[in-house]
Amino acid sequence: MSSAAVAVGTKRRFSDVEPIISNENDDSSSKKIQKQEQISTVSLIDKETGLSQCFHRVRAKLYLSLAPCHLEQPIAGLRQQHLDPLIMMYNSTLDGVIISYSNVKLADAKTDATGSSGDVDVDVEYKYVAKVSDENPFSFLWVYVDFVVWQPKIGDVLEGYSVMQSQGHIGVLVHDVFNASIKKFYIPQDWYFVPNQADEETSGTISADADGESGTNTGDANNGSGTTFKSLGHWCDADGVAVGGKIKFTVRALHVTGKGLAVEGTLLTPGME
């Protein structure tokens, strides 16, 4: 199989390149993602809120295919073919849920497109190039992308609104997007559950002050945003105060479900488990 390098698009420069783990000689996949090395296993804590900072900017290097119809505008084609479908999906290589992306840059012709500068004619002024073969209509090229990724880690401290409570768990919505569950085994033993009638449908709204704290409740079930949901009852803490609104918890496990990420939390301190 023969291959060649063809020019695509226009040359664009970029700066602030972060360290990237790469293997330039491995071309076996049409879609590979390589990210910068990360050493820390627990997210940093915000000193004001006490919550973990789980949103990270990650510069990644991807080896992508490009359809012939997108050769004139390769970046627009890469967005449509590969990058847009990644939004709000869990990616195992980036170790988190991709929230957004930016700064899409084609890799430099002389060092990235062919794997070695010796394969490029130094006497010819190249723009960005892609690898093609006589057996495949698609072109293949390296691309730099900056991703914003939600990367919760075990031991991180998160906060979310209680959206459902049952005798077996408390359901929490983090950032109004991500689901988390606190099972009864990880709820303090001096808390107790007050059940409602079976399958009772309740609609609740709640007012909030400027700090986002809960105010007047107009129903038995609320999450601080006026969302309607099914309530089986509510938990009360050791002082008999109903648990609701914002709940701060610690991540104890993470589960990948298809392209999503489910968070399992705990309200217990290490000494209580």
CA geometry: angle at 247 spanning 267 and 99, to 5°? 105
For residue 125, the model assigns a pLDDT of 54
**Site of tokens 């057996």:** 135
Distance CA 126, CA 9 (A): 11
What is the reported pLDDT for 231? 67
Low-confidence ranges of the chain (pLDDT < 70): 1-42, 109-128, 197-231, 271-273
Helices (H), the chain: 74-78
CB < 8 Å & 24+ apart, contacts of 78-81: 78/104, 78/143, 79/104
What is the structure's pLDDT at 272? 66
Determine the longest span between alpha carbons in the chain, in angstroms.
80
Distance CA 147, CA 87 (A): 10
DSSP 152: -
Report the predicted TM-score, pTM, of the whole model to 2 decimal places. Answer: 0.68
Amino acid code (one letter) for 141: L
